[in-house]
Chains A and B, each alone.
Chain A
Amino acid sequence: MDLQRHPKIAFKQDYPVPEGYDEGFSHRVWARLERVDEDAPALNPGVVTVLLAWSGNARAWAVAASLALVVGGWFLGRLWWSGTEPAIGANSSSDLLANLPAEEAHDAVLHSANLELLEEVVEQDPNSQVLLSEWAEQISNDPVTMQEALTALPHDLGALVEEAEIEI
């Protein structure tokens, strides 16, 4: 099958779904949300820290500080993971690119695109010479020389490309 020439293929949403699944969905989420509230720590870690510190015991201080660190880290982690809003602020890449001359912006996009792609590819399959060759082939069409690309690469990836003995 030639995907390029084939008429667009739509995704069929026809995998089996248990009957009545839709109806109880929001109730199940509400029930879980209530359970999450019940499971929340009964003691505020800040209060625990103050209470333990009050005792004037050095060991208690250490325990309290560790507890505050762990719980604080957990909260921060959750805050981040629960979907930090994507930043579309003044420091986004597109804003930075907008301030560059057209030619530089073009190079920067090509450069960053290829490097990110390569990192992703290598992360997925560190031994894949084929994928490295594909990347090399891609940058050979860009106004970026191999030497420049290697300099810009993180050290381990640069070494990997050199090991692959790709000629451009």
Chain B
Amino acid sequence: MPDSTDSPDSLSSPEGVSAQKAWELELLAEFANEATRNRAFTKLMERYRKALYWHIRRMVLDHDETDDLLQNTFIRCYQGLDRFEARSGLYTWLYRIATNLCLSHLSQKKRRRMLSLSDDAVRLEAELKRVTPQERMGSPEYLLEKALLKLPPKQRLVFQMRYYDELPYEQMSEILGTSEGALKASYHLAFKKVEAILRRR
């Protein structure tokens, strides 16, 4: 799968946001029309699938689980799109559905296996080792990904959205339903923890 062209980064610039908004409004109008509904929804999937795939994959690591969660994201979206009032961006809303599904999947998995946070990190580390290409083992990218697995899922998510995707706190707050102040504090704490883990190596 090639790199995503619709990464959240492109939504950070004002031009990106307004072009995105126009495209989404047009799509919503198409979706509201019974005759063009299916075509509109297929277009929506094509546009956001890759960005959402990697957003989920980064969290759960396994491809099959990612595929399942991604399909569920679009199914929930289809079922709720009629009620969508465009107060937030469509992509932000999709991102939010995917994030909720991801967090709930991870916590269910941890509960089902009765794992503590550190046991869960061990399980995820093994998974990361399995999916990382051999030539990237020991690289800074791999070490950072590995260190992130020691964070609780929501904090990891905050770190990933801020550090990798450089999402503005305002948008993160819309997606995660947490105040900007709390997100800043959470990111600060996550950064400090990751730094400490990387330094200990």
Residues of A within 8 A of B (CB): 1-4, 6, 9-18, 21-22, 25-26, 28-30, 32-33, 36, 78-79, 81-83, 85-89, 93-94, 109-110, 112-114, 116-117, 120-121, 124-125, 134, 138
Interface size class of B (residues with CB under 8 A): 35 or more
Across-interface contacts of A28 in B (CB, < 8 A): 71
Bound-state Cα–Cα, A3 to B146, Å: 14
Bound-state Cα–Cα, A89 to B100, Å: 22
In whole Å, how far is B31's beta carbon from the nearest beta carbon of chain A? 13
Residues of B20-79 contacting chain A, CB below 8 A: 38, 42, 45-46, 49-50, 54, 57-58, 61, 63, 67, 70-71, 74-79
**B76 in contact with A83 (CB, 8 Å):** yes
Bound-state Cα–Cα, A4 to B151, Å: 18
Complex interface bits, B136-153 against A, C-beta within 8 A gives 1, otherwise 0: 100011011100000010
Across-interface contacts of B87 in A (CB, < 8 A): 85-89
Across-interface contacts of B168 in A (CB, < 8 A): none
**A2 in contact with B195 (CB, 8 Å):** yes
In whole Å, how far is B195's beta carbon from the nearest beta carbon of chain A? 5
Q: Does B182 contact A (CB under 8 A)?
A: yes
Bound-state Cα–Cα, A4 to B194, Å: 10
**Listed A/B pairs (29) with beta-carbon separation below 8 Å:** A1-B143, A1-B199, A3-B144, A11-B141, A11-B160, A12-B141, A15-B57, A15-B63, A16-B133, A21-B63, A25-B45, A26-B42, A29-B75, A32-B71, A81-B76, A83-B77, A83-B93, A83-B97, A85-B88, A86-B87, A86-B92, A86-B93, A87-B87, A88-B88, A109-B179, A113-B179, A120-B152, A120-B155, A138-B185
Across-interface contacts of A93 in B (CB, < 8 A): 179
Across-interface contacts of A14 in B (CB, < 8 A): 133, 136
The residue that A3 contacts in the complex, of B61, B154, B182, B195, with Cβ under 8 A, is: B195
**A113 in contact with B182 (CB, 8 Å):** yes
**B85 in contact with A85 (CB, 8 Å):** yes
Which residue, of A14, A79, A86, has the highest number of chain B Cβ atoms within 10 A?
A86
Q: Does B16 contact A (CB under 8 A)?
A: no
Bound-state Cα–Cα, A53 to B61, Å: 51
The residue that B179 contacts in the complex, of A3, A21, A116, with Cβ under 8 A, is: A116
Which residue, of B78, B85, B87, B179, has the highest number of chain A Cβ atoms within 10 A?
B179
Residue of A at shortest CB range from B175? A86
**A26 in contact with B45 (CB, 8 Å):** yes
Across-interface contacts of A82 in B (CB, < 8 A): 76-77, 79-80, 97
Evaluate whether A13 and B96 lie within 8 angstroms (CB atoms) in the complex, with A82-B79, A116-B182, A120-B154 already known.
no
Bound-state Cα–Cα, A42 to B57, Å: 36
